Amino acid sequence: MGANSGPGASPCASPVGPWRKVLYARQPFPDNHVDRRFLEELRRNIRVRQYRYWAVVRETGLVAQQVSCVAVFITLWSCMDQGRLGPSVLLWAATGCALPGYGLYEMLGGKDRERPRLADLQSAAVFLAFTFGFSPVLKTLTESVSTDTVYAMSAVMLLAHLLSFPYTQPSPPGSLSLNAALFASVCLASRLPGALHTFAMLSWALLVFALWPCLLHRLRERAEWSFPWAAGLVCAGGVGGLGAVWPGGALLLSLALLVLTLACPLLLVCLQRHKDNIHGPWDEAEIREDLSRFLS
């Protein structure tokens, strides 16, 4: 009997037949053996999405305008806190923005309406009634908390709002981002002079953080050409309003918006050429058969 004919023969012995990539058959090869065809199945960068610069710049407009929305809200709060803006003026301005915005939202919605207008009216009336009734309570909610702590909590909550905002699907706004923004609004509104100031501030918080993202999402879907103009208008309003209260903050906001809308997309497009994903026979198996008949 030859030296390599026994069951304990070395795995380096000359194979009897070609190697097959199967697990159910015993073969005279080590477990980690592969043949020359292994690297022939290597594929690079399959299903990789190629980005275009101006398309990415357009998509970053949603992030930039959301940052500007926070700047607009802070500007309104600062003007009320300093006595430059009265609550009645702010309430009339909120009404003047809400009614045309709702009309535009309805016009763009067409026949795809999911709930009647009466339900929208009832929801708005309930929110305004509860907010107006609890404004004196909200005004004194943080009396036992120091002002520095309130400002710090508001800043953290607004940052959490920006980080958790669902930019891919902003309508309706995410519960975490909306709750964080409303919590910050309540904290800041509690530092205003009167209960009517608090009510006006919370009404604007609803417009800026809850209703405006829904309208902007509708503009992106139904009137795509108008989305860059709407985002640019909000960014200009955020920079201009912040400049009237804090010029240094307006400069920082302008630099941040330029980085978000111009520098970050350029960096993404430049790094795209260095992307190197490899795929081959070592990938996990994917079941492509429809198994719904077994799961039902």
pLDDT in tens, 24-69: 778 888 877 777 777 777 777 777 778 889 989 998 999 999 999 9
Does the pLDDT at position 128 exceed 60?
yes
CA distance 213 to 181: 13
pLDDT class for 8, splitting at 50, 70, 90? very low
Does 172 sit behind a cis peptide bond, omega within 30 degrees of 0 on the bond before it? yes
**Closest by alpha carbon to 105, among 166, 161, 172, 59?**
172
Amino acid at 112: D
pLDDT at position 5: 38
In whole numbers, what is the pLDDT of the chain averaged over residues? Answer: 83
Which of 20-29, 101-110, 162-171, 231-240 shows the lowest mean pLDDT across its residues? 20-29
pLDDT class for 182, splitting at 50, 70, 90? very high
22: left (phi over 0), alpha (psi -120 to 50) or beta: beta
Is residue 39 within 8 Å of 205, Cβ to Cβ? no
CA distance 158 to 152: 10
Is the pLDDT higher at 262 or at 169? 262
pLDDT tens per residue, range 232-256: 999 999 999 999 899 999 999 999 9
pLDDT at position 127: 85
Is residue 231 within 8 Å of 215, Cβ to Cβ? no
What values do phi and psi take at 258, rounded to 5? -65, -40
CA distance 152 to 269: 36
Does the pLDDT at position 180 exceed 90?
yes
97: left (phi over 0), alpha (psi -120 to 50) or beta: alpha
Please give the structure tokens belonging to residue 182: 């409303």
